[in-house]
A and B are shown apart, each in its own frame.
Chain A
Amino acid sequence: MQTVLNLLEVEPIRLLVSFGAVLFLVLNLAAVLTMAERKVSGYIHLRFGPNRVGPRGLLQPAADVFKLFTKENVSPGRSDLWVFLGAPIAMFIPAALVWLVVPFAPNAVVADLNVAILFFVAITSIGALGVVMAGYGSRSAFSLLGALRGAAQMISYEVPLILSLLGVVMLTGSLSLADVVRAQGDTIWTWYFLPQLPMFVTFYIAGLAEVKRVPFDLPEGESEIVGGYMVEYSGMTWALIQAAEFASMAVMSAVTVTLFVGGWQPPLPFLDLGNFNWVWFGIKTALIMFTFQWIRWSVPRLRMDQLMDLGWKILVPITLIWLFVTAGAILIF
């Protein structure tokens, strides 16, 4: 037993095993989040949601995955097949890769990069590539419309997303996510969401738009363009796109927690669980993910011009002003 544990300390093995564990986590998160999404939507609609498969419907994701595995994978007649089939992969890999740098607990991070925030920003922008590939490869008008909207939205909201990160970076003086968490301290009022409240709200809204959730789900827009860039997908390619969406939603809430809500830090010092502090990380991430779902079933979709107005005319100025305020505060105190 001890030798096996020591073997896990050896560098390539540690990285591979932990990355495998993270990949397992991401793939299961997609299934669990689908379940959570349907339950939350049902409860908000005064329904029960899925409750037939297993105890209280908890085996529903397994049934869904089983169904999707048995479905045929159809591609449109004149689609660009390589691009079409590559798009779900191009969407999923960035969403899974960001988990590499997310610290789950003290010393529990797959790769403690000293440029983790840069890595996060760089990798999340690749997500737009998958959307464009899906829309272009499908050779369908709806898909292309969805992809164009997706590209415009994701590129526009990158700007406030990155700008709202900068306040945290300035306060911490480090680009490493583990350093950011450590700098926030183990009390709820020293976390960055209080001094950086406008940045936190901006990051949250921009993150919501970045993962294409309601009210920013114009690329999907199922009531206007029936499903956007994923109209033509079926079976497991569709499942992979869904998994990528849920994984990126989870990663966005995890990064929000890490940057602003104190990561693994307990809300009060006496609640410190030592190596089990990942429980705090999990609780906070789950709460943020719940607010994503809560917003989804409460808020109507924005129009394209309103979306652009919100991004460029409101969020970017707010971040710039607060960046200035933060810089001044750092200079003075």
Chain B
Amino acid sequence: MPQVGQGIMKGMGVTLKHLFGQKITRQYPEYKRNLPERSRGMLTVDMDRCIACLQCMRICPDHCISIEQTKRDADGSGKAKPYPIGFVIDDSRCMYCSLCVEVCPVNCIYHTEEFEAQAYNRLELARQFGERPVDPRIDPKPAVGKKKKPTGKKAPRTVEQPRTGGEAA
């Protein structure tokens, strides 16, 4: 009998203390804590360094990177080299696995600290980097294992086009 209600009283004392205690919520949009050093945010590409080797596009498990490749003498060496004229990263598919970052030979694709990807339309999440926008809906890497039907002609490869500028997003 002497112990009746002691537990309840103790518990209610704790809750009363918490009622007036310091709140520990962090008000997110106003207060942003520093991200850890190796946090994986949204991807970005340094287009000046990209050599259009397409390795990131091939390794991406979600098929979220599409690169439109062309040949261009970009560095003034007199030799036409592969050049990424269109580069799109579809954030609606990206799962931040960081495989593309690991595979890139020139370290031109990397994670930023941005992580707030939101849009009213799925296609708005596709970020364009090249001079010419690439349609993100086209699967850059058709599913493996299926036998390809011989089409007779090669896949259309874009030819060098005069620089227009401003067309890039």
Contacts and interface: CB of A to CB of B under 8 A. Distances in A.
B107 interface: no
B25 A47 contact: yes
Given A40-B19, A43-B19, A294-B16, A48 B11 contact: no
Nearest to B14: A298
A299 B11 contact: yes
Size class of the contact patch on chain A: 10 to 19
Interface in B23-73: 23-25, 27
B75 to A, nearest CB: 52
A46 interface: yes
Contacts of B117: none
A141 interface: no
Given A43-B18, A43-B19, A295 B12 contact: yes
Given A298-B11, A298-B12, A299-B12, A48 B18 contact: no
A295 B21 CA distance: 17
Contacts of A299: 8, 11-12
B15 A297 contact: yes
A46 B12 contact: no
Q: Size band of the B side of the interface?
A: 10 to 19
B15 A298 contact: yes
Instruction: Describe A's contact surface by its main secondary structure.
Output: loop
Nearest to A297: B15
Contacts of A81: none
Contacts of A45: 18
Contacts of A298: 8, 11-12, 14-15
Contact of A44 (B8, B15, B22, B24): B15
Given A40-B19, A294-B16, A46 B11 contact: no
A44 B19 contact: yes
B21 A46 contact: yes
B15 to A, nearest CB: 4
Contacts of B16: 294
A294 B8 CA distance: 12
B12 A44 contact: no
B25 A294 contact: no
B33 to A, nearest CB: 17
Contacts of A40: 19
Nearest to A290: B19
Interface string A238-272: 00000000000000000000000000000000000
Interface in A292-316: 294-295, 297-299
Contacts of A44: 15, 18-19
B8 A46 contact: no
Nearest to A215: B8
B19 A48 contact: no
Name, among B8, B11, B15, B23, the residue most crowded by chain A CB atoms within 10 Å (CB to CB). Answer: B15
A294 B23 contact: no
Interface string A176-211: 000000000000000000000000000000000000
A298 B8 CA distance: 8
Specify which of B18, B19, B20, B22 lies most central, judged by the most chain A CB atoms within 10 Å of its CB. Answer: B19
Nearest to A314: B4
Nearest to B4: A314
Given A298-B8, A299-B8, A46 B15 contact: no
B48 to A, nearest CB: 43
A46 B8 CA distance: 20
Contacts of A294: 12, 15-16, 19
21 contacts: A43-B20, A44-B19, A46-B18, A46-B22, A46-B24, A46-B25, A47-B23, A47-B24, A47-B25, A48-B23, A48-B25, A48-B27, A294-B15, A294-B19, A297-B15, A298-B11, A298-B12, A298-B14, A298-B15, A299-B8, A299-B11
Interface of A: 40, 43-48, 294-295, 297-299
Minimum-distance CB pairs A-B, first 9: A298-B15, A298-B12, A44-B15, A43-B19, A46-B24, A298-B11, A47-B25, A44-B18, A44-B19
Interface of B: 8, 11-12, 14-16, 18-25, 27
